Amino acid sequence: MNINYTLNQLPQIAEQIIDEASNKILLFYGEMGVGKTTLIKEIVKQLEIDDVVTSPTFSLVNEYKSRKGEIIYHFDFYRINSEEEAMDIGIDEYFESNHWCLIEWPENIKNIVPLNAVEIYISLNDDKTRSIQIEEKGTQNLKLETEKP
């Protein structure tokens, strides 16, 4: 899916992402200031969260609970120094939770994101609209098994 949109169209874009995502792990790629956090705020709003949504730049993760009791995790790995830091906060447990995981700067943990995550690329166009490209990475996590002697 590749769409150009304005900020006024964010509610429709967010709704479409929620409806069409094959997985609840969403990876947001784009330059600083392109609108990753803004889109995530709208997705969280669409998931019926009443809390104020901010980027967890220093805490790495914010947790929100919807009116329906659904949990949403919002990660920001911009300032992370190593993938080991993500492992230290139990990132794999978040991924396995079957809750929404919305991740900014996933390129900083590229070796540990699930293979079935949904990749969302955002870019700013010359006319101040944004382009969004959504790619489904796969259908399952890679499991390596060793042969028993």
The topology under which CATH files domain 2-136 is Rossmann fold (3.40.50)
Q: Residue 117, by phi and psi: left (phi above 0), alpha (psi -120 to 50) or beta?
A: beta
Quote the pTM value: 0.86
Q: Which of 97, 104, 113 is nearest to 80 (CA)?
A: 104
Residue boundaries of the structural domains of the chain: 2-136
**pLDDT (tens place) for every residue of the chain, 149 residues total:** 788 999 999 999 999 999 989 999 999 999 999 999 999 999 999 999 887 787 777 789 999 999 999 999 999 999 999 999 999 999 999 999 999 999 999 999 999 999 999 999 999 999 989 999 999 875 433 332 323 33
Exposed, middle or buried: residue 119 (CB in 10 Å: 0-12, 13-18, 19+)? middle
Q: Is the dihedral of CA 22, 12, 9, 36 positive or negative?
A: negative
